[in-house]
Amino acid sequence: MLEYLPRVTDQELAARLRAMGAVLIEGPKACGKTATASQVANTIIRFEEDATARSLLTLDPEALFEGAPPILFDEWQLEPAIWNRVRRQVDDRGARGQFILTGSATPRDDATRHSGAGRFAVIRMRPMSLFESGHSNGNVSLATLMEGETQTGKDMGMSFTDLLERIVIGGWPDLIDADEDFARDWVGDYVKQVIEVDIPSMGHRRNPRNLERLLAALSRGVGQAVKLSELAKDVGGEAGPVANETLYGYMDALDRLKLTDNSEAWRPHMRSRTRLRAAPVRYFVDPSLGTAALNIGTAELRADPNAAGFHFEAMAIRDLRIYAQPIRGAVDSWRDANGNEVDAVVTLRGGKWGAFEIKLKPAAVDEAAAALLRFAANVDTATHGGPVVLGVITSSGFAGRREDGVHVIPITTLGP
C-alpha cells in the first residue's frame, strides 16, 4: 500500500468537521478523496465494492449508522438515497463531525433529495499539486503573497524535460513514482474509461468518436476561451456540428464527473471603456488529461513550445486552485475585447485580489510583468482596491520581487 502523502485538503477537512455535522468531498476519480477521508474516519463504508452495504440501505438503513463516527460513505453517488439519511442523522444527533461523504460524480438534481444547507460542508478536491507530490519546495506561499509580503527562494533544480514530464504524468496519487510510459498508459486508460463507461452510465447516448473528438478539442483549446459553437464543429467532424443538446449533455457530464475546471471571467470596473470578455477559459482538472486526450508526451511538448506553454499554464492553474482553496480564494481569468488578458486573478473574501501571468519560458517574464502593471493600472482601485500581489509564475530560476514590484515565482517554489 502506498504511503499516504499529506494533502492541502487535510486541514480543511479537519476544520469543516469541527464546524459541521457532515462533510462532502467532491473530486474526480482517483484524486485521493478516499485516502484523505480515511485518515480521520473511524468507520468506512464503500458503496462501490460492498454489496451488503448497498442492500442495507433498503433492508435496514439504521445499521449503516451504528459505527463510530466519523462514518465515511465512499462513492455516495452510487446510492443517492444515503444523502437524505445522512441529513436526517445530522439533525437527530445534533453533533458535529459525524459523517464524510466522498463522490466522484454529482447526481442529477432530484426533487426527493433535500438541501444539505446547514448540515453539509462541501470541499472540492483535485489531483496533487507539485507541492503535495514533492516536486515543489513551497518556499513561496500563496497565502503569504496574498498578505502582500515578499518571499524568496530557489527552484527545485528540475530539468525542463522533468517539468514537462510532470504535466504528462499529472498529480494522480497512483502515479507518484511512475515513469512517463506507465503514466501515459494509466491516464490513457482513465480517459478511455470516461468515454466508454462513465459518461454513458450518466444517461448520455454512447458515441465514443464524438467524445474522443470533444476531449481532443478541449485539449487543443486548453487555456483558451473556446466557444461552444467551435466545439460543436470539432465534435461533429465531417458530418457537421453536433446538436447543441448533445454537446451540452457531454459538457454537463464532464462537469459532473469533476473533470473540467474552467476559469470564470473576473469583470471588475475598469478605468477604460474597453469591453470585457465573459466566456470561461477552459481547463481540465489535471493537465495530464489534456495530453492524454491528444496522445502526446514530453517529446511532442518539446517540439511544440506554444502547446507546451498552454499545458504548463494548465498545471499552474491547477496548483493555484489547490493553494487558494484553504484561504477561501477563487481563481478566475481576465480578458478584454482588445486581446489583453491575465491568466489568473485570485480573489479572497473581503475583496483582496492578486493577478498572475503564467509563462513557461523565463525569458518571457519581462513582457508578462509589463502586462500585469498595465492591467493593474487600468483597474478601478476606488472600487476594488489595488492588487496585493502581481506575479509571474514561470518554470525555473529564483523567486523574489523585482524593482517594479512584480514577483517572479518558479512553479517549483510555489505552495499553499
CA distance 24 to 105: 12
Of 339, 342, 290, 333, nearest in space to 314 by CA = 290
**CATH class for domain 9-124?**
alpha beta
Q: What are phi and psi of 40, to 5 degrees?
A: -120, -15
For residue 122, what are the β-bridge partners? 24
85-94 per-position pLDDT tens digit: 999 999 999 9
Of 365, 350, 351, nearest in space to 396 by CA = 365
Please say whether the beta carbons of 318 and 287 come within 8 A: yes
Please say whether the beta carbons of 330 and 346 come within 8 A: yes
CA distance 81 to 355: 43
354-381 per-position pLDDT tens digit: 999 999 999 999 999 999 999 999 999 9
Listed by start position, the domains of the chain span: 9-124, 130-415
pLDDT for res 110: 55
Q: Does the pTM exceed 0.85?
A: yes
Please say whether the beta carbons of 414 and 319 come within 8 A: yes
pLDDT for res 204: 65
pLDDT for res 201: 86
CA distance 294 to 303: 14
Q: Is the dihedral of CA 144, 148, 154, 155 positive or negative?
A: positive
**219 vs 268, residue with greater confidence:** 219
Q: At residue 111, does pLDDT exceed 50? A: no
Q: At residue 265, does pLDDT exceed 90? A: yes
Query: By percentage, how much of the chain surpasses pLDDT 90?
Result: 90
